[in-house]
Amino acid sequence: MINAANSFNAEEILAGILRWVAIESPTTDPAGVNRMMDEATATMRALGATIERIPGRDGFGDVVRATIAGKADEPGLMVLGHLDTVHLVGTLAGALPIRRDGDKVFGPGILDMKGGMYLATYALAQVQQALGDRLRLPVTFLFIPDEEVGSPSTRALIEAEAKRHAHVLVPEPGMDGRIVTGRHAFLRFKLHVHGKPAHAGAHNRSGASAIRAMARLIETIEGWSDYDRGKSFSVGIVHGGTFVNVVPTECHAEVLCVAPTQEDFDDVVARMSGLAAPFPNTRLEVEPGPVRPLFRAQEGTERLWQLAKSIADREGMRVHSGQFGGGSDGNFTGALGIPTLDGLGVGGAGPHTHDEHLLVSSLEPRARLFAGLIEQLAG
């Protein structure tokens, strides 16, 4: 049984996390992501897992499914998380090197979410050591390569695997003592504006700028946001034009929308699909992209939360639950009605920025919490 006598060493956990953080793995670099999958495979194989390597598709890295057998052949526990990051290759040598400043340790993906996935493997090892025997139920770790772009190549696999399990734990960042029992929906769109060409230095008025039209659309779209309610529209990527002396005939943009309720979800779809080109001689295409469905807490998830709260209380941890933004693959499993507890990873701040860091002081208590959940659900 996991208790105070079990050896949970924060510095040992940190050392393992930093080995993973030292491997740069942006989603767009499948070779880098696969080096991370190699590392995860070695870690899980050392714990006695059976490994299945699922080749990546659509230009993404591989998926690793690692299963620890249980005594009973019944639906068990799934641990779900990703090893891709938003930080491009060169970030380690540039804007976000690995460094420590007191309780804070910085690095690309250290919080979101290499820290959490390594911490989960460490917690599993502690449970195995404490029980001294096989787990009662199987535990499957699913390592995902494309979460940061909406998991377009892995959603079907995630959902199929989750349906084979009784519970899902997601070690996404556990910031501010949060444990996530629901997540807002996320919708992605691509906008394609087409204009009319002209010589920009002599015949501007005979053309129609796709970039100008996109600029007007961006103002409209982002103006729909209601940040106080958690409903937002954000344009994150824009590119267009060929030469500065040519009125641009094409401009493309990507939009991320967040919807905290089903009503908001429907409104986002209606607004985005109803967009029209703002100027004469311009044309707009709206291309729907990956969707993370709304994850609302159901009875099974509430029971998981109560279990986590009792473990946290025993460990002297202060935690709270709720529905939050910051979509994850837990959106898929929670929306299916499978009991899902998210936000179980390391504490810290600054995900997706050059201030991304974890808190060393969070590592031992968070590992104990995760181990306690594994023990209660599958031990």
> Which of 232, 259, 292 is a domain's end point?
292
Q: Is the pLDDT of residue 4 over 70?
A: no
For residue range 256-277, list pLDDT tens digits in order. 999 999 999 999 999 999 999 9
pLDDT digits (tens, 9 = 90+) for 311-323: 999 999 999 999 9
pLDDT at position 175 over 90: no
**Residue 27 pLDDT > 90, yes or no?**
yes
Query: In this structure, are 192 and 55 located in the same domain?
Result: no
Q: How far apart are CA 42 and CA 22, in angstroms?
A: 16
Percent of the chain with pLDDT strictly greater than 90: 95
Asked if residue 350 and residue 272 are part of one domain, the reply reads no
> What is the mean predicted confidence (pLDDT) over 158-186?
97
The answer to whether residues 192 and 298 belong to one domain is: no
Find the CATH number of the domain harbouring 223: 3.30.70.360
Mean pLDDT, to the nearest integer, of 165-180? 96
Predicted local distance difference test score (pLDDT) of residue 5: 59
Q: Once rounded to an integer, what is the mean pLDDT over residues 358-366?
A: 97
Judgement on whether residues 40 and 163 belong to the same structural domain of the protein: yes
Verify that 176 and 43 share a domain, yes or no: yes
* pLDDT tens figures, 187-236: 999 999 999 999 998 888 899 999 999 999 999 999 999 999 999 999 99
pLDDT at 3 over 70: no
Q: Whole domain around residue 195: which residue ranges?
A: 185-292
Q: What is the mean pLDDT of the chain?
A: 96
245-265 b/e (C-beta count within 10 Å ≥ 16 → b): eebbbbbbbbbbbbbbbeebb
Identify whether 103 is part of a domain.
yes
Residue 22 falls inside a structural domain: yes
pLDDT value of residue 165: 98
Across the range 63-89, mean pLDDT stands at: 97
Residue 5 lies in a domain: no
How many distinct structural domains can be found in the chain? 2
Task: Please check whether residues 81 and 165 belong to one and the same domain.
Answer: yes
Q: Which two tokens stand for residue 359?
A: 């808190």
Name residue 54's beta-bridge partners.
63
Q: Give residue-wise pLDDT tens across range 98-122.
A: 999 999 999 999 999 999 999 999 9
CATH number of the domain within which 171 lies: 3.40.630.10
Report yes or no on 4 lying in a domain: no
Which class for 244: exposed (0-12), middle (13-18), buried (19 or more C-beta within 10 A)?
Answer: exposed
87 belongs to a structural domain = yes
Closest CA to 324 of 186, 167, 187: 186
The answer on 255 and 310 residing in a single domain is: no
Whether residues 255 and 171 fall in one domain: no
The DSSP bridge partners found for residue 78 are: 140, 168
67: confidence class by pLDDT, cuts 50, 70, 90: very high
Amino acid at site 312: A
pLDDT for 72 equals 94
Q: Are residues 94 and 238 in the same domain?
A: no
The answer to the question of residue 1 being in a domain is no
- Single-letter amino acid code for the residue at 355: D
pTM over 0.85: yes
Domain boundary among 277, 292, 307: 292
What separation, in Å, do the N-terminal and C-terminal C-alpha atoms of the chain show?
Answer: 9
pLDDT band at 293 (very low <50, low <70, confident <90, very high): very high
296 falls in which pLDDT band (50, 70, 90)?
very high
Q: Assess whether 169 and 190 both reside in one domain.
A: no
Residue where a domain terminates, one of 292, 309, 336: 292
Three-class DSSP labels, the chain: CCCCCCCCCHHHHHHHHHHHHCCCCECCCHHHHHHHHHHHHHHHHHCCCEEEEECCCCCCCCEEEEEECECCCCCCEEEEEECCECCCCCCCCCCCCCEEECCEEECCCHHHHHHHHHHHHHHHHHHHHHHCCCECCCEEEEEECCHHHCCCCCHHHHHHHHCCCCEEECCCCCHHHEEEEEECEEEEEEEEEECECCECCCCHHHCECHHHHHHHHHHHHHCCCEHHHCEEEEEEEEEECCCCCECCCEEEEEEEEEECCHHHHHHHHHHHHCCCCCCCCCEEEEEEEEEECCECCCHHHHHHHHHHHHHHHHCCCCCEEEEECCCCCHHHHHHCCCCEEECCCCCEECCCCCCCEEEHHHHHHHHHHHHHHHHHHHC
